[in-house]
Amino acid sequence: MKVYALLEQDMVQEAFELARQNNFSSSIECSAAALYYSMFRDELLTEEFAERALKTAKGEKEVAYALAARASALMVEERMKEAVEVLNRSVETYETQMARKMLASCYMHLHDFTKSFENAERAYALLPSVGNHALVYLSLFNSGRLKEAFEESEKALKEAEGDDKLIVLGDRVRMLFTLSERQPEVLPLLRKETTRLILFPVRSDDWVALKVRILLSTKQANLALEVVEEGRRLFPESWLLKLEHADVLFSLGEKERALELALPVIMNEKVPSYFFDDKVLSKELLNFVSQGLVQT
């Protein structure tokens, strides 16, 4: 399958692998690389490949994807308004679900939930994927259209498979948690969905980590501790779960235990740099671990 076709199916990693085999010899292959590196918030490589894509782009499709690649670099830097301008140019050149999806994300970040929904809906029409469906129901939820949001998330849950199902379950738990702060009557449903999340069978340490992050984000640290401890029994060699365990302990106030667990992993394991983005581990834990590294 060619790089174009892979990107149109939102298969960015597969497009990147194919592009790498070809040594990123074309504009569309450079666009695939930029979009891939943006997922890991790598500013330098995203920018480098986006610039290469723009310089060599020919024809509407290549230009549209090169502009989307450029916008991805701006999004990594959180320059969302500029990214919107570039993405609108991309859509005007040649409409892709990629650009529509990215526009929906930008507008959500900018709290323009009407435009976020419009672009998410269009992205889903172009490619009815679970990821695009998630943008639809999250836009609805953030704009206050709660009933529609939960109806769409239930549909997405039925469509989803594997880790996509876990992601949708997590979104439902987060939405219910947010809602419960002003509508306590949804607490029983929150408990029900949280139980579904916890009991969801895992196939890898990534899935355990996702559960832990969802529970921490909804202030359910004690449940997160149970999940990560069970996960470490299943995947005892996982550096990822050691760091997640440290994050949970830190959130429970056990700072010294968290440091004892995190430091050896950070010093001895090959941990990807993007993992230290404060959107992955808690910013407070990162600062605390940094102090520990200085002291050692």
More confident residue, 265 or 57: 57
State the chain's mean pLDDT as an integer: 92
CA-CA distance, 106 to 230, in Å (whole number)?
A: 37
- Chain mean position to CA 259: 26
What is the C-alpha R_g of the chain?
Answer: 20
Reading the block at residue 234, the tokens are 């299943």
Percent of the chain with pLDDT over 90: 84
Per the listing, tokens 């639809």 go with 136
Question: Considering only CA atoms, which of 104, 66, 105 is closest in space to residue 86?
Answer: 66
The answer to whether residues 156 and 203 touch, using CB atoms and an 8 Å cutoff, is no
- Residue 26: CB partners within 8 Å, gap ≥ 6? 3, 56, 62
Q: Which domains does the chain have, with CATH numbers?
A: 1-94 (no CATH), 202-296 (1.25.40)
Summarised one tens digit per residue, pLDDT across range 257-293 is 998 998 888 887 667 666 665 555 666 666 666 665 5
pLDDT band at 121 (very low <50, low <70, confident <90, very high): very high
Instruction: Summarize pLDDT for 125-161 with one digit per residue, the tens.
Output: 999 999 999 999 999 999 999 999 999 999 999 999 9
Residue 162: the pLDDT is 87
Say how far apart CA 125 and CA 115 lie, in whole Å.
15
pLDDT > 70 fraction of the chain, expressed in percent and rounded: 91
* Contact status, residue 136 vs residue 124, Cβ threshold 8 Å: yes
Confidence at residue 290, expressed as pLDDT on a 0 to 100 scale:
62
Mark residue 26 as left, alpha or beta (left: phi above 0; alpha: psi -120 to 50; beta: remaining): beta
> What CA–CA distance (Å, rounded) separates 83 from 173?
30
Contact 85, 58 (CB under 8 A): no
Q: What is the DSSP string of 86-97?
A: HHHHHHHHS--H
Alpha-carbon dihedral 277, 201, 188, 156, rounded to 10 degrees? 80
CB 35 within 8 A of CB 12: yes
- Alpha carbon distance 243, 234 (integer Å): 15
Residue 78, phi-psi category: left (phi > 0), alpha (psi -120 to 50), beta (remainder): left
| 27 phi, psi to nearest 5 deg | -60, -45
Q: Which two tokens stand for residue 107?
A: 């507008």
